[in-house]
Structure 1
Amino acid sequence: MALAAIAIEAGAAILEVYSRGPIAVEEKADSSPLTEADLLAEAIILERLANLFPDIPVIAEEAVANGHLPEVTDTFFLVDPLDGSKEFISRNGEFTVNIARIDNGIPTLGIVYAPALKRIWWGNMEAGSFVSTVEEERIASPLKISTRSLHRQGLTLVGSRSHGSGEGDPRLEGLAIIDHASMGSSLKFCLVAEGNADLYPRFGRTMEWDTAAGDAVLRAAGGAVVDCEAQPLQYGKCNQVHDSDYANPQFWALGDDALLDHISKVGLGAAAQ
């Protein structure tokens, strides 16, 4: 549980900034927000990973923004020190620390820690996925989690609190959606992994560090994260013709692979044209 301990330590630094009151915000070159908490958390994570895994390169959001992009091997870490910056700034608690290990393009281990909510999720392909409360910076009561089978009465769709859920997109037509939930950061993956939602479509742009940890938790819980051709989302995407390194395509995160048939049929859809 070394990665969980690192995430919890980074989360404590984030909460220290969070507790002070109004949060000072800078704007990065891509117009996304940057706070002191992002930098403090990433510094802790990078130092701890370097000590524990000196031979494994790390792709971390703020380091990449500053031009530090190490060469990666088949194995590397992806780090988002503070996912859900808008949630952090608005102080709704729905922000996370994300750490994932990638092996041959697959997220094999992921930690998603929501320090303000005192909840942590982790998963790996061998042991499965778990959730626990965090008390006094320690994991308190781990429970194994898994995705749910499709309900006959209909689906629960989860979307971004800041970016929407894709409602109205033609690719959702034909799905029996009876409920919607909104959630910030990587918590959307965790909602599906716990069996509290069925589907999280993301038709906007994301980066690999945004998704890898939640993807690992969801896959290990029995779900899947696939592109618009119903193929598993891949990691370590460099030298892309139509986008920057480590940028994701649009994707679907799902709890039951019975949804793959629908995804295969709708493909990119009219909205992506």
Structure 2
Amino acid sequence: MSADGQANLLRVLINCAEKAANIARTCRSNEELLGLLVQEKQGSEANERFEHDFKTLADVLIQETIKHEVGSFFPAMQDAILGEESPNFTNKLGESVTIAVGSSEEDTASSLLAVLSGHEGAASALAKEVHREVNFTSEKLGEIPQLPDDLDHDNLGIWIDPIDATAEYISGDTMFTDFPGITSTGLDCVTVLIGVYERDTGVPVIGVVAQPFGEKLEENVYSSSMFWGVCLPSLQAHNCHFEARDENRRLGIFSSSEQSDILQRFLDLGYEFAFSAGAGHKALKVITYEVDVYLLSKGSTFKWDTCAPQAILRALGGDVLDYTASVAEQKAVPLKYLMEDNAFDPEWKRNAGGLISVRNVNVVEELLAKLAEQ
């Protein structure tokens, strides 16, 4: 708590991310439960880059849990907490159910039971995690700073991606790249993303990225890796103290579907490539200094994918840029998170111009010049 009794927003978000990770691990720990939770996305909710995309109860439950938790501490932010998922879910009987976090564990279990069609044990286990008191600690978490007293919570909004790389979360199959520490698929690619932005400027200011399966303790037992950053006018802080890579070796990370002509331009500049799943995971590799740049030329990510890592990168002196606008204008054009007039149009949530994530903005000028070549 701060001197005026107000909770520390960053600490609340870190605890929310860990609660999300607990829910994700609970759902993933039992194959029967995992099978019950998977529902294929349809229509406008499907990501066109994948043949199959999935919506899970874990996604919805995590999102609604974070909304409930943050809203209870910061009522002024309640209506500006947005996420990837609709709270509406169709159970195995074809019944439409709205997932809601209740005031008690029993109320939440009752809501979940409608989806889980009689699986009382599973509903109770998930409800227990939703209402469990969480206070995440780790030596790597660092000291949580006191946020400025004049922080205007009325002007803050949140984008949540409850489980980024859902397909990886479901399959769990791990494949390694040629670069130590970077996997192309697997549970390591799964992230929970919570990003805070200013509603009047659209600038991301606080980010939390958690890897629910970041550290393997023993077979099928994991603990979280947690990364955070704050970039406010009067405060810049983070826990991402990683050594820079070899300056003589450039590495970019991409989706496996990236255009060949884009990759060729990186080759011309002396970059090596890694291909990996999960927008949050790829941005995290920029944050941890394991790669120099993450570029996606397609408009297949959304605001919930980028808000959290962008806030952290800004705290580190980097940023996430609009690829198309930056190349066209030959200068860094950061992504913004302003609410569009038509909030019911799903396209306003899309990063339609693609993205470039960098930890060191000094690499952008050369990169943009090369990408603009005909």
TM norm structure 2: 0.60
The alpha-carbon distance between structure 1 residues 82 and 234, as it changes in their structure 2 partners (threshold 3 A), is: same
Q: Secondary structure at the match of 1:63?
A: coil
Equivalent residue for 2:162, pick from 75, 81, 84: 81
Partner of 1:136: none
Deviations 1:61-98 (A, max 9, x none): 113999xxxxxx75211111111111111212121111
Deviations 1:17-51 (A, max 9, x none): 11111532322323242011111111211100110
TM superposition shift of 1:115? 0.8
Equivalent residue for 1:120, pick from 219, 226, 229: 226
Equivalent residue for 2:68, pick from 26, 34, 47: 47
Q: Does 1:26 align with 2:40?
A: yes
Q: Secondary structure at the match of 2:25?
A: helix
TM superposition shift of 1:155? 0.8
C-alpha distance in 1 between matches for 2:358 and 2:24: 30
Equivalent residue for 1:247, pick from 322, 332, 350: 350
C-alpha distance in 2 between matches for 1:237 and 1:268: 30
TM superposition shift of 1:166? 5.0
Q: Does 1:16 align with 2:33?
A: no
Structure with a larger share of its residues in helix: 2
C-alpha distance in 1 between matches for 2:246 and 2:202: 28
Superposition RMSD in Å: 2.7
Q: Secondary structure at the match of 2:68?
A: helix
Deviations 1:137-196 (A, max 9, x none): xxxxxxx42573771x23111124xx5455542553532113525353412222111211
Structure with a larger share of its residues in strand: 1
Equivalences for residues 221-232 of structure 1 within 5 A: 221-228=316-323, 229=326, 230-232=332-334
Q: Which runs of 5+ in 1 are unaligned?
A: 67-72, 131-143
Higher mean displacement: 114-123 or 178-187 = 178-187
Q: Secondary structure at the match of 2:43?
A: coil
Q: Which amino acid aligns with 1:245?
A: W
C-alpha distance in 2 between matches for 1:165 and 1:156: 15
Among all aligned residue pairs of Structure 1 and Structure 2, give the percentage whose two residues are the same amino acid: 23
Contact 2:64 / 2:87 at 8 angstroms: preserved in 1?
no
Q: Which runs of 5+ in 2 are unaligned?
A: 1-10, 47-52, 90-153, 173-185, 215-223, 327-331
Q: Which amino acid aligns with 2:283?
A: F
Q: Which amino acid aligns with 2:284?
A: C
C-alpha distance in 2 between matches for 1:86 and 1:175: 33
Contact 1:147 / 1:222 at 8 angstroms: preserved in 2?
no
The alpha-carbon distance between structure 1 residues 252 and 87, as it changes in their structure 2 partners (threshold 3 A), is: same
C-alpha distance in 1 between matches for 2:371 and 2:88: 32
C-alpha distance in 2 between matches for 1:266 and 1:65: 45
Equivalences for residues 258-269 of structure 1 within 5 A: 258-266=362-370
Where does structure 1 differ by over 4 angstroms across 4 or more consecutive aligned residues?
163-168, 266-270
Contact 2:60 / 2:87 at 8 angstroms: preserved in 1?
no
C-alpha distance in 2 between matches for 1:171 and 1:238: 34
Partner of 2:96: none
C-alpha distance in 2 between matches for 1:217 and 1:101: 10
Contact 1:75 / 1:101 at 8 angstroms: preserved in 2?
yes
Q: Does 1:217 align with 2:312?
A: yes
C-alpha distance in 2 between matches for 1:216 and 1:7: 16
Partner of 1:148: 244
Paired positions, count: 247
Higher mean displacement: 111-120 or 14-23 = 14-23
Contact 1:157 / 1:200 at 8 angstroms: preserved in 2?
yes
C-alpha distance in 2 between matches for 1:55 and 1:268: 44
TM norm structure 1: 0.80
Partner of 1:197: 291
Q: Secondary structure at the match of 1:217?
A: helix
TM superposition shift of 1:262? 2.5
